[in-house]
Amino acid sequence: MAYETIIVETHGKVGIITLNRPKALNALNSEVLKELLAASQAFDADPEIGAIVLTGSEKAFAAGADIKEMQSKTYVDMYLEDFFSGWEAFTRVRKPVIGAVAGYALGGGCELAMMCDFIIAADTAKFGQPEITLGVMPGMGGSQRLTRFVGKSKAMDMCLTGRMMDAAEAERSGLVSRVVPAGELLDEALKAAAKIASLSLPAVIMTKEAVNRSYETTLSEGLRFERRVFHSMFALEDQKEGMAAFSEKRAPNFKNR
Ligand code: CAA
């Protein structure tokens, strides 16, 4: 498929999706959504791919949902289109997705980064939910995911004032997993993704599912779910191989990777 708003590449077993609307600072419109879903679902189905990196440009991961596309819509348009609901499909990608964020990740850009499994940020990254300054509020998960990630006080501060958070504050607050120099962002993200892609794919997908479950359920249900999935892993050949390799002091040779 030929893409117009994203660039799709592979690096070994890692799929790379780069948002590519430079003139609009990668603002997220319906075309970006359509193409991002097609590319991520294709990587998800591709047995040669074990992990995905989603990135933008040096200046902007994405400066938000496309304001110009939304501007003239009415309440009825938004309601009947169930506007933004399409993004949920991105969170159903089963293989790990690492967000590699440099520059602006604002509004829908911040929300898209939070839909990734974890975020590696360049020291130039700036996160924010400035929708309030447009007379609206986050609509792609910001009021919910940001609150779960950084806590109520900081989420309220971000959503109510629209201020930006720099990379250091984002790391301190738990929004991003690590901060790296801007010039090393893609390399670091690819290194992490390649590590994941070298491991047992079923174990990786089960682990992602278990961590995500912690956001959806109570602690006791989550713990029960974790134990059941952990037990089921003993049906994997990769469990036998991983533990045998440890005992024999050698590198594991996972079958499903
Ligand atoms: N939608 C549409 N176009 C956008 C955009 C957006 N979110 N963000 C930037 N652009 C466009 C600008 O209109 C401009 O286009 P033109 O050259 O045609 O005028 C181009 O990208 C470059 O932008 P600037 O000239 O503004 O660049 P800057 O360096 O001066 O400023 C910025 C950068 C601070 C990020 C500024 O562009 C900005 O404030 N952007 C909007 C941020 C925002 O409000 N995001 C939230 C959007 S609403 C949302 O996301 C809802 C939701 O919950 C999902």
Q: Could you give all domains of the chain from N- to C-terminal order, each with its CATH number?
A: 6-197 (3.90.226.10), 200-248 (1.10.12.10)
One-letter amino acid of 119: I
C-alpha count within 13 angstroms, C-beta hemisphere, residue 127: 35
Residue 256 has pLDDT above 90, yes or no: no
- The whole-number pLDDT of residue 107 equals 98
Q: Write down the pLDDT at residue 1.
A: 76
* CA of residue 48 to ligand 1 center, whole Å: 36
pLDDT value at position 182? 98
* Distance from residue 64's CA to the centre of ligand 1 (Å): 7
Ligand 1: which residue has its CA nearest to atom 32? 63
pLDDT tens readout for residues 41-93: 999 999 999 999 999 999 999 999 999 999 999 999 999 999 999 999 999 99
Of 177, 158, 157, nearest in space to 167 by CA: 177
122 neighbors 185 (Cβ within 8 angstroms):
yes
Say yes or no to pLDDT of 118 above 80: yes
- Give the Å distance between the CA of 250 and the centre of ligand 1: 52
Q: Is the CB of 171 under 6 A from ligand 1?
A: no
0.90 cut: is pTM over it?
yes
Residue type, 248: E
Is residue 257 very low, low, confident or very high in pLDDT (cuts 50, 70, 90)?
A: confident
> Does ligand 1 come within 6 angstroms of the Cβ of 96?
no
Looking at the chain, the whole-number percentage of residues with pLDDT higher than 90 is: 99
Q: Report which ligand 1 atom has the smallest distance to the Cα of 162.
A: 44
Does the beta carbon of 50 lie inside 6 Å of ligand 1? no
Residue 144 pLDDT grade (very low, low, confident, very high; cuts 50, 70, 90): very high
- Is ligand 1 within 6 A of the CB of residue 159? no
229 lines ligand 1 (CB under 6 A): no
